[in-house]
Amino acid sequence: MFKSVFIALLASVFLLGCANQRFNVAGDITGSTPKMEDSQSFWVSGIGQQSNVDAAQVCGGAAKVVGVDVEQTGVNVLVGLVTFGIYTPRTARVYCK
């Protein structure tokens, strides 16, 4: 019993992954602190859904936007696995000058 639970847990750790989409608008955002960080909810693995963030409004003008970043962390993936893909959160960030 313990061995099969351990194997299942080990397999799930190896299956966890993350995805990150980064858009650098004016410079590199590596190491920067985001001005806005928002956890976005998606249902049924996000099929046919979208979520919009107005980066220019967050930064006070389009000229002040350095970049945007959308990430699906290992924790987000784990939540999606536990809910069988019914609920899959992602994190959006906006970086400003």
Q: Give the tens place of pLDDT for each residue, 35-94.
A: 999 888 888 878 888 888 899 999 999 888 999 998 888 788 888 888 888 998 889 999
Q: Which two tokens stand for residue 39?
A: 């956890």
State the pTM of this model.
0.72
Q: What is the DSSP letter of 48?
A: T
